[in-house]
A and B are shown apart, each in its own frame.
Chain A
Amino acid sequence: MKKTMMGNYAASWGAQLSRVQVIAAYPITPQTLIVEKLSEIVANGELDAEFIKVESEHSAMSACIGASATGARAYTATSAQGLALMHEMLHWAALARLPIVLTNVNRAMAPGWSIWADQNDSLSQRDTGLMHIFASSSQDILDSTILGYKVSEQVLLPTLISFDAFFLSHTVEVVDMPLIEDVDKFLPPYNPEYKLDVNDPRSFGALTSEEHYYEFRYKMQKAMEDAIGLIKKEGREYEKLTSRYYDLIHPYRCEDADLILVTSGTIAETTNVAVDELREEGKKVGNLRIRVIRPYPKQDILKAIKNCSKIAVIDRNISCGYHGIFAQELKSALYNETDIPVWGYLAGIGGRDVKIENIKEISDETLKSKEPEDMIMKGVKV
């Protein structure tokens, strides 16, 4: 059924439809409306879950870890500094192989204090071993929550779903809510092979010498590789229920493009509109939206870009001292595989608005340029 809702609430309803059993959340700044709505949903009896108010985001993730270890479906949400405070426990959740799903509203890290969109908070968690989705619409937020559990519970890795502050979090738009009966069929209750159970005692997280630790990493890596196929497979299953398909990448008008723009989050949606306008001007430009950055869809990307002659990556994030992070990742994927040149652009840092005209400017600049540049900081006031 179609409804209108804010992006924050799309996350709340995604968790409700996934029938999460434990929600652990820090309720104060930098928390968002996601868990406020969930606390209402639980209080109203629309979801049978334990809502645990904790004293920090570190504790929120710790509580999720405990809950997930007992075999419960666990959920939390946060943003920016809150996600950073969870960092230690994100490693724990991933290495303990617990299929927790958490939502992060992408906000710029402080100082200066900011509540505006920027991806540095979640990209700083890149190497914790979480699968990582960047949603680009409220529909995507809701659907990715359900799909996140479906894939996480098979590969036993957590999923982090990130989306842009304000551009999604506080924007009301139309969301098609799947029927709970359909979601129940798609996402059966979580029932892990091993769990914390007083009647069946086991050790978890015990001391691990060099004899075995490496193999833990090997297995995580294999799980990530398996996730690539599973995200597609479950995406197809979900499509049968909802007519909506989610993949790791979403190419738009890339087949015959001379220039492919590589984008993520809400910038990707605006870029689709810019691409249509550029095409009308006779410029063969496409948009390759990266939806999932871990596992990294290298083969899919190589296939999508194979016919183009130039690539421009637009990053709403920066690894200071090097470049935009999506640009780094893309260049690493292309090395040894193709010699298509890559331009790196920064835009939208700290929530600065990225308009259609900004994207067209990036496109025109790249089409004209002969020498690729690692990082062009668009619109910076210096």
Chain B
Amino acid sequence: MIEIRMHGRGGQGAVKASIVLAEAAFQGGKYIQAFPRFGVERRGAPVEAFTRIDDKPVQIRSQIYYPDGVIVLDPTLIEVVDVTKGLKKDGWILINSDKKPETYDFGENYKVYTVDATKIAVENHLGSRAAPIVNTAIVGAFAKITGLVEMDDVEKGIDSAIPRMKEENKKAARQAYNSIT
């Protein structure tokens, strides 16, 4: 089983990201669970969401404490939240950032990736310049770095989980996918 934790700010679409990611895995024939950290979400405040992916139905019903990977939708969160808390050894961290992965030092145990999801979201008119919605772009990047889901399945996941601007969201996801080298 793969367990993933997302860190975002209320309004950025972290919860939706956990669902799109799960949908993509489901389209690829996996069993999934996607859920927010159970609480009351406030705009701008740090939020967390989780996705589990497995070959068989997921029975664990607790939150995720020891993720295999972490997705950070807002790099400023790194200053205020311990994003690597409980992250398994050899785990990965995917950050929405315009900086190079080497900029971030989380020690030797973790592999860091970056994608400029904000730029991609703005280019595709997802959200506003001040509050871009980066969730679909980040899932595209996730597909590339982990290989856990196919890009085609990410598009199918967007089709089923995102109600509006499907084409723009799919384009953003594919652009993010292709931007990872």
Contacts and interface: CB of A to CB of B under 8 A. Distances in A.
B106 interface: no
B61 A172 contact: no
B23 A4 contact: yes
B140 interface: no
B59 A270 contact: yes
Chain A CB count within 10 A is highest, among B32, B34, B35, for B35
B124 to A, nearest CB: 24
Given A166-B35, A166-B38, A173 B58 contact: yes
Range of interface residues on B (Cβ < 8 Å): 20 to 34
Contacts of A167: 38, 61
A170 B59 contact: no
A270 B40 CA distance: 24
B35 A267 contact: no
A172 B59 contact: no
B38 A174 contact: no
B19 interface: yes
Nearest to B63: A353
Interface in A281-320: none
B149 to A, nearest CB: 14
Interface string A255-270: 0000000000011011
A365 to B, nearest CB: 19
Nearest to B29: A2
Interface string B14-44: 0000010011001000011111101010000
Contact of A269 (B26, B31, B61, B63): B61
A355 B65 contact: yes
B146 interface: no
Chain B CB count within 10 A is highest, among A2, A174, A270, A351, for A174
Given A269-B60, A270-B61, A354-B62, A174 B32 contact: yes
B32 A171 contact: no
A174 B57 contact: yes
B1 to A, nearest CB: 10
B60 to A, nearest CB: 5
A4 B60 contact: no
A174 B34 CA distance: 10
A149 interface: no
B22 A266 contact: no
A254 B164 CA distance: 49
A284 B167 CA distance: 54
Contacts of A165: 38
B62 A172 contact: no
Interface in B40-66: 40, 57-63, 65
A355 B23 CA distance: 25
A269 B56 CA distance: 13
Nearest to A138: B33
Contacts of A355: 62, 65
B57 A170 contact: no
Interface in A324-376: 351, 353-356
A165 B61 CA distance: 12
A266 B62 CA distance: 9
Interface of A: 2, 4, 115-116, 137, 164-168, 170-174, 266-267, 269-270, 272-273, 351, 353-356
